[in-house]
Structure 1
Amino acid sequence: MDPPVTPTPARMALRRAAFAVPLLVVVSAALFALASRSPFDPLAGYLGDRYTTTSDADRARLADELGLHDPWWATYGHWVRGLLSGDLGVSRSFGQPVATVIGERLPWTLLLTCLGLGLAIVASFVLGVWSGARPGGPVDRLVTPLAPVVQATPPFVLSLGAVAVFALSLGWLPVAGLTDAGTDPTFGQVSEHLVLPVTVLAVSQVPWLAMSVRQSVRDAIGSDAVRGARARGIPERTILLRHVVPVSLGPFVSVIGLRLPEIIVGAAIVEEVFSWPGIAGAVVTSARELDFPLLAALTVGTTLIVLIGSLLADVTLALLDPRVTADG
């Protein structure tokens, strides 16, 4: 009896896992090597206001105690040993365990990113299908010229523009933060403060996704299957829902996977502009102060999220279209 054949999604997951391990090693090692050449003095952030009043001898002694004079490969080796034992280390810049720093901020980043991505997926798919199914119509005439303009606008510009219009000029929404000053993070407060950052993040991703769907719809409408369905007298609405939309889902999922790195970068920028208490602030602080344990954990974690997201997109595509193989 022939041995059972591993299903395509499982084989794809195994191949990606084998690729992910060396990639994470290279990324983390490169991070330590590059950070060791940073022009920033990590003691400046560690000491704060005491930096200027601390003598050179005391600074040198403290740097030795913190291991700042160790070669980067020694620091990296120490971090890897801790990681393998389940210890992410202690953040110098926050004075807390790295796991605590990430645990306090990651849920807010996931909330913002998931809501923004979800809104972008729904809006772009609806606009793309509508625009592609009715070329030259009102939606198509709006989407086609605006998409390149919005796509070319950096997320921080969109964020500042949204704050200027909807928060400062119209006063409809709060400017920034998780809640109003002096208030508890209730559902209503958090929801109100989420509107602008989530919308900006979604708008920054919609153009590329919508135009991708539009092109897939146009290709599907021009296919032999759709022409045959029309020849058989099948209504246009049925053709769109049963033939065009399912065919467009595969490329759409693939594009989402490719866009994950940009979505994460966009979320970080939006967090900084809107003072959202997520991971972005910790990334900036750890990079400025050369907080190796925190910076490494955030970098490796982000890389891992991108790899997992890309894998999920590819597996979903393989399930939607059995013609897709683990080899692409």
Structure 2
Amino acid sequence: MSVLVARRLAAAPVVLLAVTFLVFALGAASPFDPVRQYAGDAAFTASARNLEQIRAGLGADRPFVAQWWSWLGDALTGDLGASRSLRMPVGQVIGERLGWTVLLVSVAFVLTLVGGMALGILAARRRGGVLDRCVTGAMYTLEAAPVFWLALGAVWLFALRLDLLPAGGLTDTSASVVTADQVGAHLVLPAAVLAVSQLPWFVLYIRQSLIAALAEEHVLGARARGLRERTVLLRHALRSALLPFLTLLGSRVPELITGALLVETVFSWPGVASATVQAALALDFPLLTALTVLATAAVLIGNLAADVLYGLADPRVALDG
């Protein structure tokens, strides 16, 4: 396991370096002009000379390789540059928003685990029954539904029609300070939508793995010894079914990040995911590069953690990296 961790940690800087280079390369190949995006409406009346001065001030007149190398040198010293769209240092943007994204994703992930485990067990326990067919059908339907559609539907139903929950934001518009009660109320809808969007794969995987585990010899032996069905299901079959699931967790991190991008945008949640969308629309490459590196690091850490957990759960597995 130590060899696996060492190899992954050694490869991580190379991957992150390649990601930053690709972001600047894609920016150079983009048909959109970051200078005009930065100037906004003033770009329509500004002279060519003024636009060139802005371009020189932003460093956008240099080849993208030179821009990337300059950004990389500053980043290694802790200077991530300034956000062109938010008009503030990139480090400050990430510092102010990262915690809110971690809160949203953590709550959604816990809801997904709890809800998915319960529904998966119930469906597998009565395979082919009415409950199994209803749960499976609902999961396939949710799997086909786009995240933004679920978010807009939740806003329409729970905020506009029933007036039960706030439609978005972090606090009420009339609030002067951020309180835990208001954050909790505004967190319900986005966290629930993000959890529901991730629920299908978990429920279907748990159901299928549990059905396969119930046919294994040690589970059949437990039943033959007269153990209660609940004991056989939870202590024998479920433990075996969850082992492969650990490796699946790491592969779901990119989808969780993508879902957070859409959910934070629809609900105006002030996290780094919504800032990524804003940076992409404004061609804000300093901010976009830093956030892309952050997302890539999250994916690498998620995959490494999943492999390590699997090795700890089942020492018989060879982790060769």
Instruction: Pick the TM interval, shorter chain.
Output: over 0.9
Counterpart of 1:281 in structure 2: which amino acid?
S
Counterpart of 1:40 in structure 2: which amino acid?
F
Deviating above 4 A after TM superposition, structure 1's stretches of 4 or more consecutive aligned residues are none
Classify 1:139/1:19 alpha carbon distance in 2 versus 1 (closer, same or farther; 3 Å). farther
**Aligned match of 1:3:** none
Q: 249-258 vs 259-268, which deviates more? A: 249-258
Q: Does 1:44 pair with 2:44?
A: no
Which of 125, 135, 146 aligns to 1:133? It is: 125
What is the deviation of 1:138?
4.5
Q: Does 1:251 pair with 2:244?
A: yes
Map residues 179-218 of structure 1 onto 2, 5 A cutoff.
179-183=171-175, 184-218=177-211
> Contact between 1:40 and 1:289, CA under 8 Å: does it hold in 2?
no
Which of 164, 168, 181 aligns to 1:176? It is: 168
SS in structure 2 of the partner of residue 241 of structure 1: helix
Identify unmatched segments of 5+ residues in structure 2: none
What is the deviation of 1:147?
0.9
TM-score, normalising length: structure 1: 0.93
**Aligned match of 2:255:** 262
**Aligned match of 1:95:** 87
Map residues 27-66 of structure 1 onto 2, 5 A cutoff.
27-66=19-58
Identify unmatched segments of 5+ residues in structure 1: 1-7
Counterpart of 1:206 in structure 2: which amino acid?
L
The whole-number CA distance in structure 2 between the counterparts of 1:45 and 1:239 is 62
String of CA shifts for 1:213-250, please: whole Å, max 9, x gaps.
11111111000111112222222222122211211221
String of CA shifts for 1:242-286, please: whole Å, max 9, x gaps.
211211221222222211100110011000011111113321232
Map residues 71-86 of structure 1 onto 2, 5 A cutoff.
71-86=63-78
Counterpart of 2:158 in structure 1: which amino acid?
F
SS in structure 1 of the partner of residue 252 of structure 2: helix
CA RMSD of aligned residues (A): 1.5
Counterpart of 1:98 in structure 2: which amino acid?
V
Percent of residue pairs bearing the same amino acid type:
48
TM-score, normalising length: structure 2: 0.95
What is the deviation of 1:164?
1.1
The whole-number CA distance in structure 2 between the counterparts of 1:288 and 1:229 is 58
Which of 61, 70, 89 aligns to 2:62? It is: 70
**What is the count of residue pairs matched by the alignment?**
320
Q: 277-286 vs 71-80, which deviates more? A: 277-286
The whole-number CA distance in structure 2 between the counterparts of 1:154 and 1:37 is 29
> Contact between 2:280 and 2:288, CA under 8 Å: does it hold in 1?
yes
> Contact between 1:174 and 1:192, CA under 8 Å: does it hold in 2?
yes
> Contact between 2:265 and 2:277, CA under 8 Å: does it hold in 1?
no
Counterpart of 2:178 in structure 1: which amino acid?
P
